[in-house]
Structure 1
Amino acid sequence: MNRKKTSAEKKTKFFVKFFRVIRNKKVAEYVPAGATMLDMGCGSDYYLLRSVKDKIKGGIGIDIAVKDRKDGNITIRRTRIDEKLPFKSGMFDVATMIAFIEHLEKPEKVLSEVRRVLKKDGTIIITTPMGRAKPFWETLVKLGLTEEKTTEDHKHYFTPKEIEKLLGKNGFSITVSENFEAGMNYIAVGRKR
């Protein structure tokens, strides 16, 4: 049965979509044309992959909460990300972790696997909310303008230095490290060493 969305649900969708569009435009700047791409934690709508599908050669989105499917040059696979990834070493040009690393219990383990599946000189792109964003999102939750799940799953709010250290420790050289969305979000781009 299809039910009509409430006003609060529409507002929630607006805020989540608004920030996602800004975040994905920022990320798309760093996705190389013609790349093979892995999007970790792609979500059921695999929005980032759909937004770059004409730019990339092909992409695979993985998430524990998706159903397997194919959509043109995009493949979506239900996959546990905290285990060995089901891909050959050196398979991808670029891997993305968009608003995702803060949900991981063991980000080092996941980054090690990302490094394995990236080609030589492959690119990793990470975005994560800054700690200063937490009160903002919590206020939106209280006002009914976004879902509680927006913040409840966050295991850690990383600082730029922590992300840089994690990437360096896992064999990546930092090429971009900057805040965006009025300092509420952070992007790091690394190159596999």
Structure 2
Amino acid sequence: MSYGEFDKYAERYDSWYEKNQVIFECESKAIKALGLRGKGLSIGVGTGMLDFSAPVNVGVDPSVNMLKRAKTRGIKPVRAIGEYLPFRNGSFDFVIMIATLCFLISPEKALRESRRIMRSRGELAICMIPKDSSWGKKYIEKGEAEHALYKYAHFYTINEAKDLLNEASFTITSVISTLGYSPCDKPRVEKPSENPEGKGFVCIKAVKSNELKDPV
């Protein structure tokens, strides 16, 4: 993967949400509904536009230009990738990944790293575009058409993401979702839902388990 593509995309990332305020509001509400508290880290923070809703204190990303924008939102920027986090054990109360899972080279390693840097009973939230949703299918098509970013993405179903969390020794506690309409429909403001069926933006919250499973 070329992280340089993400540097080029920084300005366009923010402008997309500025033009799609209703979608931004829906996703922001879903993130806030997770109820994350304490010192938080965002993996793949990007510009921090949505991550600020968590709220997040520190953000890691391989893109310098993305991190510059995240810094303007009060997020401490750290250039790194999710598979190798430059933090001590037990440094954070929660970790969040917003549209990051699909870009990870090794999601298994990133989840175990997340677990390592969390305090006891720390929480992890994965916010994703489900592979089998209408939104997921749209972005998969973009990737197949050689979109600058989505050509690198590997999308997951909700069950696949849950399996990854379970294997990394997390216990799922809740699921919050939004975007119950397709990309072809007129956007509308929605309240966060606990029913993820057919939703285009789904956040899975899990707690760090006491027992650590051995890597397969």
With the shorter chain as reference, the TM-score category is: 0.7 to 0.9
Offset, 1:178: 4.9
Cα deviations across residues 13-68 of structure 1 (Å, max 9, x unaligned)?
545654344223211222434x100011111x212343355xxxx61011011249
- Given that 2:26 and 2:178 are in contact with CA atoms closer than 8 Å, whether structure 1 keeps it comes out as no
Instruction: Indicate whether 1:106 and 2:137 are aligned.
Output: no
- Partner amino acid, structure 2, of 1:97: M
- C-alpha change, 1:15 and 1:149, in structure 2 (3 Å) is farther
Unaligned runs of 5+ in 1: 1-7, 142-147
Helix, strand or coil at the partner of 1:93: strand
2:158 corresponds to: 160
2:118 corresponds to: 118
Cα deviations across residues 114-148 of structure 1 (Å, max 9, x unaligned)?
0000111100000111123234347889xxxxxx3
Displaced runs of 4+ in structure 1, greater than 6 A? 8-11, 138-141
Unaligned runs of 5+ in 2: 1-11, 181-198, 210-216
- Count of matched residue pairs: 173
- C-alpha change, 1:163 and 1:117, in structure 2 (3 Å) is same
Cα distance in structure 1, aligned partners of 2:70 and 2:203? 29
Helix, strand or coil at the partner of 1:47: coil
- C-alpha change, 1:51 and 1:189, in structure 2 (3 Å) is closer
RMSD of aligned Cα (Å): 3.2
1:4 corresponds to: none
- Partner amino acid, structure 1, of 2:80: T
* Matching residue within 123, 126, 133 for 2:135: 133
- Given that 1:124 and 1:191 are in contact with CA atoms closer than 8 Å, whether structure 2 keeps it comes out as yes
- Tell me whether 92-101 or 178-187 shows the greater mean CA deviation: 178-187
Cα distance in structure 2, aligned partners of 1:15 and 1:140? 19
Helix, strand or coil at the partner of 1:88: coil
* Matching residue within 34, 37, 41 for 2:40: 37
Cα distance in structure 1, aligned partners of 2:95 and 2:115? 9
Cα distance in structure 2, aligned partners of 1:138 and 1:13? 20
TM, length-normalised to structure 2: 0.68
- Partner amino acid, structure 2, of 1:175: T
Identity of aligned residues (%): 23
Offset, 1:9: 10
- C-alpha change, 1:159 and 1:138, in structure 2 (3 Å) is closer
- Partner amino acid, structure 2, of 1:161: N
1:19 corresponds to: 23
TM, length-normalised to structure 1: 0.75
- Given that 1:160 and 1:177 are in contact with CA atoms closer than 8 Å, whether structure 2 keeps it comes out as no
Helix, strand or coil at the partner of 1:187: strand
The structure where strand makes up a greater share of residues is: 1
2:173 corresponds to: 175
Helix, strand or coil at the partner of 1:157: coil
- Given that 1:40 and 1:63 are in contact with CA atoms closer than 8 Å, whether structure 2 keeps it comes out as yes
